[in-house]
Amino acid sequence: MTDPSSNNRKTTLAPMLSVRNGAKAVDFYKAAFGAEVIFRQDDPGGAVVAQLSVNGAEFWLADESPEHLNFSPETLNGGTIRIILTTDDPDAAYRRAVSAGGTVVWDMTNEYGWRIGRLVDPFGHHWEIGKPENS
Q: What is the DSSP letter of 125?
A: -
For residue 134, the tally of other CB atoms under 10 A from its CB is 6
Alpha-carbon distance 64 to 85, whole Å? 23
Residue-wise pLDDT tens digits, 16-75: 999 999 999 999 999 999 999 999 999 999 999 999 999 999 999 999 999 999 999 999
Alpha-carbon distance 77 to 50, whole Å? 23
SS3 content of the chain, % helix, strand, coil (to 5): 25, 40, 35
Question: Quick one: pLDDT at residue 134?
Answer: 87
Instruction: Evaluate if residue 1 carries a pLDDT over 80.
Output: no
- The edge-to-edge listing of strands for the beta sheet with 16-19 is 16-19, 57-63, 48-54, 36-42
Alpha-carbon distance 59 to 29, whole Å? 11
